[in-house]
Structure 1
Amino acid sequence: MTTEEIPVLAQFGLTGEQAEIRALARKIAQDRFKPRSLEWEETGKFPWENMEILAKAGLLGASVPEEYGGAGGTWLDAALILEQLGSACYVTAMAALGELGVQIRAIAAYGTEEQKRRFLPDVAAGKRICAVSMTEADAGSDIWAMRTKAVVDGDDVVVNGGKVLCSRADVAGLFIVYVRWSDDPGTRPIGAVLIERGTPGFTISPGRKTLGGEDLYDLTFENCRIPSSNVLVREDGFRRMLTAFNGQRCLNASISVGIAQGAQDAAVEYVKTRSQGGGLLGDHQGIRWMLADNEVEIQAARQLVWRAAANAAQAFPSRHEAAVAKVNANEMALRVTDRVLQIFGGNGWVKEMPAERYLRWARYGPLGGGTPQIQRNAIARELLK
């Protein structure tokens, strides 16, 4: 029995439907996505085929409310799906993250009725990809330093500035862009607008290759004029968008758990067949202890991620629980995948073998959605309030 088959689901009150969602996501990920995971990395192509498979299975629209064509699922539903995708194909997991994460939840929570009806049904059907862009060249974790500015001009809003390291920009039809509504210092003037691909004044740079195989892009806005109906949040916008981003942190952590589990599964299979010292590699106590340490850490991290997601239900996860889950899962995945590469020995260094792949995939988690250092600051603030 593998870790994925151990019946721990009841601890979180998962319904039979959620158990089926998890099983379906695993089957699709292992059968359809895992065999081609290295191919998606090497070509740099967006995995449209995989997104269509997820959409037809009803998994891609899990975060879209039912009235707009989705499944109306919870954060835990999304976490269950992304964990399985992360165990098989990093590129596909990151592609699906937007449709299951903050972009869609922010529109569903803060968008106008017109915005929801205009954009969400196509997302659920896999016809429209959404991207979110917050990071700037001189504003990463220090979001208060962002300079991209939106100015109201009659019935329109004019956006000027630039963003960097935006994923999925090559295929996204809609971008949620964090903007500053005034020159006042601090975070209070920060909100967000919806900018559609092809809008005059909006350009996208050529992609930059990354360690995980997913290309990243820079965005430029030069007198980019959008209708005022495309404003997502303005008043108290930063607090609302930061709250929405707690969900992204939680789902980032779920992908990290999936990556670690995928690496662990690969290591277990490897030591069962690899000969060493007159027996199997798995007969050696040192190897067994590394596998046991992996198992302890994966199980613990999964519990924290599921707790944060389950407690959120249809709302956004709490800042504290999301931060705790993310720090733990991100750093756990690095330790687990490093041990797995060591278990594979020289074969772990070979590109065609899975060990080095999982180690590379694990490295993104601590970079995206807020670094562990930023999360630790948030955790400490909560403790010392």
Structure 2
Amino acid sequence: MGHHESSIGAFWTNPKESSEMSKPTLLIISLGELGTNILEAVARTDLFEPVFVGSRSLVKAEERVNNAAIGAGIEGHFPDLRAIQLDINAHDAPLKLRQLKPDYIFSAPSLMPWWKLDERASALPFASFTALHLSLMAKFRDVIEKADTGALWIGASFPDVINAVLNRNGFGPDCGIGNIQEPIPKIQAAVAARLKCLPQNVDIRMISQHAFEYYVLNEKRTETLPPYLLQATALGRDVTDIAEDVLRARFPFPYDLHFNRVTASAGLAALRALLNPTPSAIHLPGIGKLIGGYPVQASRSGIAIDLPPDWSMDQAISVNEASLAWDGIETVETDGTIHFTMETREALFSLVGKSIDILSVSDADEQAKKLLNAL
């Protein structure tokens, strides 16, 4: 999957890319709410042929496929959707995956998604539940690595951190979706309203980590934000001062199941960019070993970090890593080990009754079991 550690230029390059590339195939595994919304969105396009939908339960996969097929058909799309039985824990999972030969893989597994947490648990730092994502993503990693299909892997489970953890520990996703991309339309629309221009004419470049959007998409005007970098231009002029103001404006937002539809839109935008023969500007989180999200140029040839001339890569990395504390993470080591902040340590102790200071791939299963028992 061609990872490159350059500051600007090709970060990921597609080994399958060619000028005569046929319509690619997509495999969606982990049919939770986000995976289902991605399926529904993709079914209403002509981007992939076929789309494989994998689940431990073939019946569940068939039901989701048929629901998407009917809805898409009503809108005039009749995609090739194929339900398959795929248990990531089965010994033959790598072989099945290798036989499918997908060009793109999408996964967003979690042992307990954020929207299922009760009021007590949801008040804890977000990092408290990282093991619930990492445990399954590590299992997916092992299967995808053994299958060795050369597919681009989009990992969407807390990608700003999980993707970096896996890549620093070995093999991991190429990129994630959502998070950094999701507050940008709010900024574009508000800036455009002030300037009386089209939102599409407002160009945004941003560096931010997962926690940022929860302060921007919020029912209260927010003066204090997690660390970030922002540049906005419109009509040939710098309008960053306007963007800085409007991003803090009150913006009531439903953090419930409807949020998955927004993330699916971000996923569809990412897929369109990654399938385009010519590079296009987009923001992506969880790129290789990098924490947080970045502006990139993406195409079917690969992903390249695309910073404004006055931002350095070291500066961008520092900003995103400084934002980790707002999710309850002190640092992520070069080997992928997560160190929790004191607030998260205290929250985990109150939840499971034991001291938990760190999280790594090797102890993710055990920590996830403790969390599930407590929840």
Q: TM-score range by the shorter chain?
A: under 0.3
Please give the TM-score of this superposition, normalised by the length of structure 2. Answer: 0.28
The higher relative CO (CA closer than 8 Å, separation ≥ 6) is in 2
Please give the TM-score of this superposition, normalised by the length of structure 1. Answer: 0.27
Structure richer in helix, relative to its length: 1
